Amino acid sequence: MVKAKRFEGKVAIVTASTQGIGFAIAERLGLEGASVVISSRRQQNVDAAAEKLRAKGIEVLAVVCHVSNAQQRKNLIEKTVQKYGKIDVVVSNAAANPSVDAILQTQDTVLDKLWEINVKATILLLKDAVPHLQKGSSVVLISSIAGFNPPAALAMYGVTKTALLGLTKALASEMAPNTRVNCVAPGFVPTNFASFLTTNDTVRQELEGKTLLGRLGTAEEMAATTAFLASEDAAYITGETIVVSGGMPSRL
């Protein structure tokens, strides 16, 4: 049950936020009072997600945005500023994992796509957002436990998520003191994105066995940590990554 109202009067953009962890983050920020701007690649998905959020009394703007499309990124920022006049929080959650090939077997085009969506799009979106970010604003990048020790089936995806750990540090330095930049590295959460791992019973049990808490995480648990980092409760935290993985080993 969400009782805090840490985001009243705040405007938050969450990318890839029509399902899974992204949706849970938008919902959490909205329940705490934020006006949330949700986005994903398909109109029907943003409309359906917006309806669900509005049914909970959340103020929401729904915009189609494929993060690797420059015009759509620009449009996301412009629509937000037209409606709300500012941006306080940006959560960069969009990610792709188009391949389970070994790194040295991965096609050039797939390497480009992974880099473009998982790393570069965050940088370009923030470039567009910066002029509208308020003093005391907050950016949260969503990485992954796979960034600390990329597993074979997620090898190159994991490496792009490692890059986000470095990007968090670099941007925190560059955007200080007016904007804090932090990172959440989720463990394994049963969402559509991770379904190839979490719907296979053997794999799922193996993953659960690697956690200290003996279970997979929930999207809401990832959202709670994201909301903490985005809020004034974390006013003296920047450049950090919080691993939310039930105690899975996570240091490089």
For the annotated catalytic residues, the residue numbers are 157
Whether 188 and 145 have beta carbons less than 8 Å apart is answered as: yes
Sequential DSSP letters for 53-70: HHTTT--EEEEE--TT-H
Residues 167, 231, 191: CA angle, nearest 5 degrees: 65
The answer for residues whose C-beta is within 8 angstroms of residue 251's C-beta and 6 or more apart is: 148
Q: Which two tokens stand for residue 26?
A: 């938008």
Taking CA atoms, 161 is separated from 120, 129, 132, 200, 205, in Å, by 12, 22, 26, 23, 24
